[in-house]
Amino acid sequence: MVTEILEALFLILAVLMAAYLVRHYIFTLTVLKNASKRKETNVLTESAVFQPTVSILIPAHNEERVVGRLLQRISELTYPKDKMLIIVINDASTDGTGKIAEQYSAMYAHIKVIHRTKKEGGRGKASALNAGLKHANGEIILCFDADYYPSADIVEKITKEFADPKVGAVQGRITVLNEPQNIVTRLVALERIGGYRVDQQARYSLGLITQFGGTVGGVRHSLLERLGGWDESILAEDTDLTFRVYLAGYKVAYVSNAECYEEAVESWRDYWKQRWRWAKGHMQCAFKHWLKVLKSNKLTLKEKIDGLLLLNTYFMPVLALFSWVVGVPLFFIKSPQWFSIAWASVPISLYSFVGNFAPFFEVGIGTYLDGRKRAQWLIPLLIFAFLYNILICTKALTDLAISKLLRKNSNHWAKTAHSGNGNCYIMN
């Protein structure tokens, strides 16, 4: 009886992982096929004449090492200055963030600084964004994290997509600024290549659930107000907003040539903190939205399927661990032939299709399309990042379960630390 139960559990887990395998193969093949037909260009189309007013929100909590770099770049954006309002939210910083922001505000009339006290701020990115939203007056709300460095024409590239009334949000492409720094930043860069060059592009091309990343993107102001702003109870406020946009009947567009550099985490400790926040927040979104996705009359069948798979992405490393726990005893028990075949495929399949955002072959094709031949040599090391993510996601699920049982909201915002080392990679 015990053997039959274990076999059933293992089969269910195998089917779930196979679904992700098929999904990622489809994504990879779609982008690879379209790459031969598509001729991307940085020349803006005629729809670029659509130039709505924009408000750019920059939440900053103790970001003195990087915020000046971003604000200097913001001052160089080519979008008409009379149509832009830059709002820096100094979120209870205890360093020189506020002082630096004020210096730029004094130099540029379209840059405004909001200072939040210790009592008001420090409660997370969503809270800071909501505070900034109260002062925004643009038709489009754009968001940039303090460590980012956008292309000069990024506002034009993002806002032109809003000419389509069905588009509620737009996401640009994120690449890593400090990639050469060490092995952690190099692996994060590979994840970003797989996630944005392939995963996001495929979602958009296939008409699935394109994910709004919470930075390097924009949302219609009217829609954001209608949705009540960002949900401060969710750690992954970007994923939450993604699904609320789709459930409201809108789409998220993806613009791959609207590029922006980020300063990636530099240590495994900071990687843990960042990915733990992503994992727990994503799991919160899964519990909040899965039933709404199933019942929605705004989503097509393929959007519902992809939406459920997207919501459960961060559960997959945990399920992979569970499959090993179930599979090991079965390996030593006399089992049917199908199990031997399934077990033999586990090492290869786990490496290929289980991960949090950028599986092996998506990264491989992404680096190939980007012409990153040297970076491809590091791809095998992603197996270690995956094993690390198993621990991270298991811890995140455990913490979420405990908080649910205790009915206690423990959404402490462990912000990502930025050293400013990415400054040396910017060409002046």
In the predicted model, what is the mean pLDDT of residues 67-91?
95
Flag whether 363 is in a domain.
yes
Q: What is the mean pLDDT of the chain?
A: 87
Sequence-distant (≥ 6) Cβ neighbours of residue 158 within 8 angstroms:
140, 142, 170, 172, 217, 218, 255, 258
- Nearest CA among 113, 52, 47, 45 for reference residue 82: 52
CA angle 248, 251, 253 (to 5 degrees): 155
Question: What percent of the chain has pLDDT above 70?
Answer: 89
Flag whether 377 is in a domain.
yes
User: How many Å separate Cα 33 from the centre of its chain?
Assistant: 24
Instruction: Assess whether 90 and 11 both reside in one domain.
Output: no
pLDDT at 354 > cutoff 60: no
Instruction: Assess whether 382 and 349 both reside in one domain.
Output: yes
Flag whether 248 is in a domain.
no
Instruction: Assess whether 8 and 66 both reside in one domain.
Output: no
pLDDT at 107 > cutoff 50: yes
Flag whether 255 is in a domain.
no
Distance CA 91, CA 110 (A): 19
Sequence-distant (≥ 6) Cβ neighbours of residue 366 within 8 angstroms:
31, 193, 194, 196, 197, 198, 358
Question: Which pLDDT tens digit goes with each residue over 374-392?
Answer: 888 888 888 888 889 999 9
Distance CA 172, CA 356 (A): 20
Instruction: Assess whether 71 and 18 both reside in one domain.
Output: no
In the predicted model, what is the mean pLDDT of residues 282-307?
96
Question: What percent of the chain has pLDDT above 90?
Answer: 63
Question: Which pLDDT tens digit goes with each residue over 16-46?
Answer: 887 888 888 899 999 988 886 655 444 444 4
pLDDT at 396 > cutoff 90: yes
Flag whether 138 is in a domain.
yes
**At CB < 8 A and 24+ separation, what contacts does 322-331 make?**
322/13, 323/10, 323/13, 323/14, 323/17, 326/6, 326/9, 326/10, 326/13, 327/10, 329/6, 330/3, 330/6, 330/7, 330/10
Strand pairing partners for 90? 60, 115
pLDDT at 357 > cutoff 80: no
In the predicted model, what is the mean pLDDT of residues 243-263?
96
pLDDT at 207 > cutoff 90: yes
Instruction: Assess whether 76 and 119 both reside in one domain.
Output: yes
Confidence of residue 289 (pLDDT cuts 50, 70, 90): very high
In the predicted model, what is the mean pLDDT of residues 159-164?
96
pLDDT at 74 > cutoff 60: yes
Given a contact cutoff of 8 angstroms between Cβ atoms, the answer to whether 116 and 32 are in contact is no
Single pTM value for the model = 0.91
Instruction: Assess whether 69 and 116 both reside in one domain.
Output: yes
Distance CA 173, CA 56 (A): 17
Question: Which pLDDT tens digit goes with each residue over 95-104?
Answer: 999 999 999 9
Q: Quote the number of domains for the chain.
A: 2
pLDDT at 367 > cutoff 50: yes
b/e code 30-57 from CB counts within 10 Å (16+ = b) = bbbeebeeeeeeeeeeeeeeeeebbbbb
Flag whether 301 is in a domain.
no
Instruction: Assess whether 370 and 336 both reside in one domain.
Output: yes
Distance CA 29, CA 33 (A): 6
- Nearest CA among 215, 222, 238 for reference residue 52: 222
State the pLDDT at residue 44: 47
Flag whether 287 is in a domain.
no
Stretch among 170-184, 211-225, 344-358 having the lowest mean pLDDT: 344-358
Flag whether 154 is in a domain.
no
Domain of 19, in residue numbers? 2-34+313-407
Instruction: Assess whether 129 and 83 both reside in one domain.
Output: yes
Instruction: Assess whether 64 and 25 both reside in one domain.
Output: no
State the pLDDT at residue 46: 45
Confidence of residue 336 (pLDDT cuts 50, 70, 90): low
